């Protein structure tokens, strides 16, 4: 389904711009008219991380006239494996600043607008209203639903991408012409069911594959060429090097873009998606210890004054990177399916931990439900342990 161009052409291209974009200009489908539309376009990229990095650089290289960057985080060393817009010298800098500098290095003709803030229900409508199209580079469900709903309410096209380990997905959601994100995913998955990239990992180059698809779709929408991914989900398996498409139909009962919407204004998306389940929240209440508490308990155990089992509920590859001394590895999945429960000692206190505390809280709910009422988990997990107890150990 071809769509009309999203923006009108700019008045002209400078001599420098003609030279820079010459390989676009000799493509009949793009030409001078298409390049002038790109120059006149205003695109907002939500996030300057794994997907935002290639997206921003290719949007800049393509000649999109105004690029907005919404980003509040700072560059961490673990980002550099995939977030190619940042470099080693940028560690500790705000990602928005690093991304801006790189974009201007790629193309000084681009006007970069930095929005160094966390996107939420209080600012999203005002930010999105300033742009023609939204490219989403986020990695959490709450922000995706927020971006989708704001785009539907404002009538903006939403270019979406998602990555995890070796798998990627991309689509274009535009309620005026097809389904929205809620038509594909009416409800978020249960808290803790879908690991984040920080928990499960991602092949760095996968970001480039999906980010470049997002930019391709943005260029098609802005210039009015080709057949955009409206109503289609592109699924990519990097291990098999296979692409497939899934048709997405507009949901007549969609809560936000259906004929009788129940979501007519922005909601509390953190509450809607949840970070951990209600059972985990309840289990962790009055059953969370700090890493300093754990350090004292381990010392007491060494002296024979305490007896407990410290269980790491992360995955084996995470355990290989860094672990807390004296911990035993039992992945969270074995608690969720019940297989770990039979082997838990009944005469020792259970202490659980993970990377930051979310997974151990979910496992704690299962353990308490099985009758281990005095079980606890470690708030902050192994990252807090490294930060406060063994800073010479690596983080990830």
pLDDT in tens, 268-319: 998 788 777 888 989 999 999 999 999 999 999 999 999 999 999 999 999 9
- What's the mean pLDDT when you consider all of the chain? 95
Q: Classify 300 as helix, strand or coil.
A: helix
Q: Where, residue-wise, is CATH 3.40.50.720 in the chain? A: 15-273
Residue given tokens 């959490």 in the structure block: 140
- At residue 193, does pLDDT exceed 70? no
Per-residue pLDDT tens for 117-150? Answer: 999 999 999 999 999 999 999 989 999 999 999 9
Q: Which two tokens stand for residue 364?
A: 């704690």
Task: Give the pLDDT of residue 274.
Answer: 73
pLDDT for residue 223: 98
> What angle, 0 to 180 degrees and rounded to 10, lies between the N-to-C axes of helices 52-62 and 204-223?
40
CATH 3.40.250.10 is right for the domain spanning 278-388: yes
- Output phi, psi for 45, to 5 deg: -105, 120
Angle at 154 between CA 263 and CA 216, to 5 degrees: 115
Q: Give the pLDDT score at 192.
A: 65
Instruction: Name every residue whose Cβ is closer than 8 Å to that of residue 76 and which is 6 or more positions away in sequence.
Output: 91
What is the bridge-based pairing of β-strands 242-247 and 288-289?
A: unpaired
What average pLDDT score do residues 349-373 get? 95
CA angle in degrees (0–180, nearest 5) for 36-41-43: 150
Sign, Cα dihedral of 285, 290, 293, 297: positive
pLDDT at 278: 85
Q: Please report where in the chains the tokens 């998955």 appear, as a residue.
A: 189
Give the distance, in angstroms, between the CA of residue 395 and the centroid of all CA atoms in the same chain. Answer: 20
Question: Helix 381-388 vs helix 291-302: angle between axes, to the nearest 10 degrees?
Answer: 80
For the chain, where do the domains classified as CATH 3.40.250.10 start and end? 278-388
Which tokens belong to 273? 């998606």
pTM: 0.84
CA pseudo-torsion sign 83, 88, 89, 91: positive
105: CB partners within 8 A, 6+ apart: none
Residues 6+ apart with CB under 8 A from 134: 43, 44, 46, 128, 147, 151, 156, 157, 158, 159
Q: What is the pLDDT of residues 256-282, one digit of tens each?
A: 999 999 999 999 998 788 777 888 989
Residues designated as active site: 197, 354
Whole-number percent of the chain with pLDDT over 70: 99
Mean pLDDT of 72-91: 97
- Where do we find the tokens 């659980």? 352
Q: Which CATH architecture has domain 15-273?
A: 3-Layer(aba) Sandwich (3.40)
């Amino acid at each position: 389904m071809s769509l009309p161009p999203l923006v009108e052409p700019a008045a002209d291209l400078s001599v420098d711009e003609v030279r820079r974009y010459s390989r676009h200009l000799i493509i009949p489908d793009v030409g001078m008219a298409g390049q002038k539309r790109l120059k006149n376009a205003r695109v907002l990229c939500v996030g300057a991380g794994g997907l935002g990095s290639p997206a921003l650089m290719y949007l800049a290289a393509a000649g999109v006239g105004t690029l907005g960057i919404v980003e509040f985080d700072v560059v961490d060393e673990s980002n550099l494996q995939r977030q190619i817009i940042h470099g080693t010298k940028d560690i500790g800098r705000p990602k928005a600043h690093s991304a801006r500098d790189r974009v201007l290095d790629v193309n000084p003709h681009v006007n970069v607008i930095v929005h160094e803030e966390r996107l939420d229900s209080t600012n999203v409508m005002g930010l999105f209203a300033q742009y023609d199209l939204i490219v989403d580079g986020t990695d959490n469900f709450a922000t995706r639903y927020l971006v989708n709903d704001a785009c539907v309410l404002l009538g903006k096209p939403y270019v979406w991408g998602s990555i995890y380990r070796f798998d990627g997905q991309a689509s274009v959601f535009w309620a005026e012409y097809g389904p929205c994100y809620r038509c594909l995913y009416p409800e978020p998955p249960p808290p803790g069911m879908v690991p984040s990239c920080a928990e499960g990992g991602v092949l760095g180059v996968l970001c480039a594959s999906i980010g470049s698809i997002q930019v391709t779709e943005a260029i098609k929408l802005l210039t009015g060429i080709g057949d955009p991914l409206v109503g289609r989900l592109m699924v990519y398996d990097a291990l098999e090097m296979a692409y497939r498409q899934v048709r997405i139909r507009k949901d007549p009962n969609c809560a936000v873009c259906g004929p009788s919407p129940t979501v007519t204004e922005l909601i509390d998306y953190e509450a809607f998606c949840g970070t951990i389940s209600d059972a985990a929240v309840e289990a962790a209440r009055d059953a969370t210890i700090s890493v300093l508490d754990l350090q004292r308990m381990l010392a007491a155990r060494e002296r024979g004054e305490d007896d407990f089992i410290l269980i790491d509920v992360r995955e084996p590859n995470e355990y290989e990177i860094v672990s807390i001394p004296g911990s035993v590895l039992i992945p969270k999945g074995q608690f969720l399916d019940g297989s770990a429960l039979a082997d838990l000692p009944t005469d020792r206190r259970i202490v659980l931990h993970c990377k930051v505390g979310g997974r151990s809280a979910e496992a704690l709910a299962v353990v308490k439900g099985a009758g281990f009422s005095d079980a606890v988990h470690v708030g902050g997990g192994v990252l807090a342990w490294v930060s406060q107890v063994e800073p010479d150990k690596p983080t990830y």
